[in-house]
Structure 1
Amino acid sequence: MDGNAPPQDGQETQNDPTMALPHSIEAEQALLGALLVNNEVYDRVASLVNEAHFFDPVHGRIFEVIARRIQKNALASPVTIKAFLEDDPGLAELGGPAYLVRLAGASMSVFAAKDYAQMIYDMAIRRDLIAIGEEITIKANAMDVDDEPKEQIVAAEQRLYALGEQGSVDSGFQSFLKAVTDAVNVANAAYQRDGDMAGISTGLRDMDSKLGGLHNSDLLILAGRPSMGKTSLATNIAYNIAKAYKKGVRPDGTEGAVEGGVVGFYSLEMSAEQLAARILSEAAEVESHRIRSGDMSEEEFRRFVEAAKSLENCPLFIDDTAALPISALAARARRLKRTHGLDVLIIDYLQLVRPASAKDSRVNEVSEITQGMKAIAKELDIPVIALSQLSRQVESRDDKRPQLSDLRESGSIEQDADCVMFVYRGEYYKEREKPAEHELEKMASWQAEMEELMGKAEVIIGKQRHGPIGSVDLAFEGRFTRFSDLAQPWQGGPRNEEF
């Protein structure tokens, strides 16, 4: 088929710098010939290549006409596509409609069409890589005040990751057999754990039994009013997962976390040092305000140092960069997964993440952010927990228990999330209803209610795509900002004395 190569592949353009780019004119001719001889080949190559992947633009235009004809259930042959390309100047240079006949006549094997398509695709990806590299070089050399190097790195990472994802040809329709096999593998993982759960354990047994653990590709929203303990609960979960981390060979043969996991924590509100102090307060059982002030006994300080040593190798990574755009957040998560692994991502909190570009309304901005978070969960195949603030309308109701309509910009958050949970502590509200000292009857009633609510919290599951809704009762120790399993009266003792 060398004789059929377009003239521009010959001696006339040997000095053209673009000729150094990876390409195979012969593979392009072979694929087009196979398509013109047998239109059924298109179904085997459509997921791999499109007109943009062809190095020769004339070949790209021929492929586009063939594809459109086949998509309309019409025959694509040298005769039928001739009318659509008669005025094409590029085709005229190659010999006009006779070139189409030569392509079909020189077709050697339709069975090798997918190999030709793969070769064309690979060459196109290589050209794209070269183009991205050149663009990075040009941008890095251009000293633009508004173009920060860090932003250039994020943009380059995004483009490279997007380029890498383009080759996922198996991401379209899959057979029911494959889907069933995946479902059986998930159920088997739960069965191997004695029916415990299929997902990653939060370290809180009652919550695990309701959620079935944290499942890959799920977006979980943890919402609540200020002072309810959202960050504390998220921190507890992060610490529990990282503390339980064990590496090994998974049932599918890959290497990774067999228990617990590597946790990424975006702390957009608190600094990394403040978050670490909270975790150490929980682990060492020393009140966080005493850690900050240094007001610790010798015994407490010893526990604090021992807890710090035991957590040195804990796979918990904290990023406290303020006002991160969702694109940068995704890029950093990809980088963490590539370098250290990543099994769970926690974002504190959703409303502090910036959209990639300014939108005409806050609702559209939040919609882009939640869609971006769901995309991260699916792309990296990990559970993503995003904390969210609630609107003030909760405070105006007699029953302060939150509900889905209380979510700020609730439409997109509620729609994109696989699970929505609310943290509620009745003790916080009841404490603010304390009657005057002289109202003895009211005071007695208030004290009885406070004793009932003291040290308890509720996690209300308002939406769960894969399971039941309801509430989970937890114990809350305000001194250490720690949530744990609540001992029920019929259990006869504490279930989770150790955190």
Structure 2
Amino acid sequence: MLKKKFLKNFYSTYAEQYILASLILYNNSWNDIYYFLNVYNFFFKNHQIIFSIILEFLNLNISFDIYSICNRIKINSNFNFLNYLNYILQKIPNPYNIIYYAQIIHNMYLLRKILLFSNNTINNILNSEKLNINEILFSIEENIFDIVRDYLKEKNDSCLLSNIFNKYFLNKNFFKNFYISTGFKNLDNIIKKISGGDLLIIAGRPSMGKTSFSLNIAKHVSEKYSLPVIIFSMEMSSNQILLKILSCILNEDQDFINKNIDSELLNNFDKNYLKVMYSLKIFIDETINLNVMQIYTKCKFLIKEHGSLGLVVIDYLQLMSGINPTQNRVLEISEISRSLKCLAKELNVPIIAISQLNRNLESRVNKRPLISDLRESGSIEQDADIVLFIYRDEIYDSKNLLNKNIAEIIVGKHRNGPIGTTNLYFFDNKSKFSDF
């Protein structure tokens, strides 16, 4: 454990006193710092006690002063809180710099967290008889994610409406950069494109083409907008994903490509097709059992390396693990879906998460999916901005030639617009969807 003397440069007595005095003198000043400051940000125990009592009054919407605070502190305390509060009230002039001093306290707290977890990591490495590099890296990743999440709380997310208008609608590049289309005109007419921060769920029973549909959108986004796209494929290998994308680009059967890939196949195709393949900024991560924290870290790395990120695809949601796994899988999936929505907003990037459906619909006469069919749904339908179902009647009635190669895209939920259904052609052997 780090000794206190090593932390002497990582706390500010004056800043902590300033915050406490400001809140006592001007109770409403709490509105400026509520979104990121908490009890544990304070270094001194007595300051934590005072601040926790202040929070009680604030939560109850009760006015308070030093006397009401001291009355709530245990009588047998060895510390004279009344004298101390009188002392700090005399040295604090005004509350107008409360945000500045709150940021000092918060940042010092984060630095202490970094020091403590770094020290613990070093001790674990030096004292462990058998080192497990995966556990060590996971612990480092988890702690960093926790610290970054705390740091981001410090940003005030509230903006004046007129400022938002100036920032976006008076920006000539707003409409070009802020939205992405799916690449399918009829579907875009319903959902009016996807914006940064959206969580899009693509669901369907097995063999409906969920992965192919998501890859078609990913290819379109990377090709049209020249933006990096990352695909987290926990079910298929990177080679299988490559084959699907290559088949879609070359408009050729996967089996044919797979059998002839070692021959002069590629030389016989139009070189423009190959230019498309080499121009795509699509990254494939086939790590299994990913959690949201790991996805966050990998996305942040891509943004740092390439400056932006156009789309995140997760195949599929039920193969993810929670940061804090529980025996209740429904609750765990609910935590994952909420975290994915928060991640989309934080990165300002749309996230597509593929989801399975329950088997219950197989017993219905009309097997078209409903929101209630989402497997281990929990809060998926609540967290998602858009839910798309893929339904192909030919899976259930292969003899009806009218249904061949027809996929219904059902917009089951649309937070900011209408719902509806549109039809696309789907060529399963080419992993390719196209407009009618």
Match of 1:132 in 2: 117
State the superposition RMSD in angstroms: 3.2
Number of residues paired by the alignment? 432
Change (3 A) 1:142 1:205: farther
Match of 1:81 in 2: 69
Aligned partner of residue 364 in structure 2, secondary structure? coil
Deviation at 1:119, TM superposition (A): 2.3
Match of 1:242 in 2: 222
Aligned partner of residue 378 in structure 1, secondary structure? helix
Deviation at 1:461, TM superposition (A): 1.1
Match of 1:160 in 2: 144
Change (3 A) 1:50 1:425: closer
| Equivalent pair of 1:222/1:423 in contact (CA under 8 Å) | yes
Change (3 A) 1:115 1:414: closer
Distance in 2, Cα, partners of 1:408 & 1:338: 35
Match of 1:355 in 2: 322
Aligned partner of residue 202 in structure 2, secondary structure? strand
Change (3 A) 1:150 1:335: farther
Distance in 1, Cα, partners of 2:33 & 2:90: 20
Instruction: Choose the corresponding residue for 2:250, options 269, 272, 284.
Output: 284
Greater RCO (CA < 8 Å, at least 6 residues apart): 2
Q: Deviations over 1:240-291 (max 9, x none)?
A: 1111234xxxxxxxxxxxxxx3211011111001111111111122321122
Q: Deviations over 1:277-314 (max 9, x none)?
A: 11111112232112222278746543288644542342
Instruction: Output the TM-score relative to the length of structure 1.
Output: 0.76
Bigger radius of gyration, 1 or 2?
1
Match of 2:133 in 1: 149
Structural mapping, 1:255-404, within 5 Å: 261-294=227-260, 298=264, 301-303=267-269, 307-308=273-274, 310-340=276-306, 341-404=308-371
Question: Is 2:46 the counterpart of 1:58?
Answer: yes
Aligned partner of residue 321 in structure 1, secondary structure? coil
Change (3 A) 1:363 1:314: same
Instruction: Output the TM-score relative to the length of structure 2.
Output: 0.86
Aligned partner of residue 278 in structure 2, secondary structure? coil
Deviation at 1:346, TM superposition (A): 0.8
Match of 1:474 in 2: 424
Q: Deviations over 1:105-147 (max 9, x none)?
A: 22233333333333222222222222222233233334365x7
Q: Deviations over 1:193-238 (max 9, x none)?
A: 6xx9962112222222211112222221111222221111111111
Q: What amino acid maps onto 1:243 in structure 2?
A: E
Structure 1 gaps of 5+ residues are: 1-14, 247-260, 435-448, 487-499
Distance in 2, Cα, partners of 1:336 & 1:148: 27
Distance in 2, Cα, partners of 1:244 & 1:409: 35
Distance in 1, Cα, partners of 2:122 & 2:138: 14
Deviation at 1:45, TM superposition (A): 3.9
Structural mapping, 1:207-218, within 5 Å: 207-218=187-198
Aligned partner of residue 333 in structure 2, secondary structure? helix
Distance in 1, Cα, partners of 2:285 & 2:107: 36
Which shifted more, 409-418 or 225-234? 409-418
Deviation at 1:38, TM superposition (A): 3.8
| Equivalent pair of 1:474/1:483 in contact (CA under 8 Å) | yes
Distance in 2, Cα, partners of 1:404 & 1:71: 37
Change (3 A) 1:143 1:33: same
Match of 2:393 in 1: 426
| Equivalent pair of 2:233/2:284 in contact (CA under 8 Å) | yes
% of aligned pairs identical? 32
Deviation at 1:321, TM superposition (A): 1.5
| Equivalent pair of 1:232/1:481 in contact (CA under 8 Å) | yes
Deviation at 1:61, TM superposition (A): 1.8
| Equivalent pair of 1:278/1:481 in contact (CA under 8 Å) | yes
Structure 2 gaps of 5+ residues are: none
Aligned partner of residue 366 in structure 2, secondary structure? coil
| Equivalent pair of 1:21/1:127 in contact (CA under 8 Å) | no
Distance in 2, Cα, partners of 1:69 & 1:82: 12
Change (3 A) 1:458 1:354: same
Distance in 1, Cα, partners of 2:17 & 2:274: 65
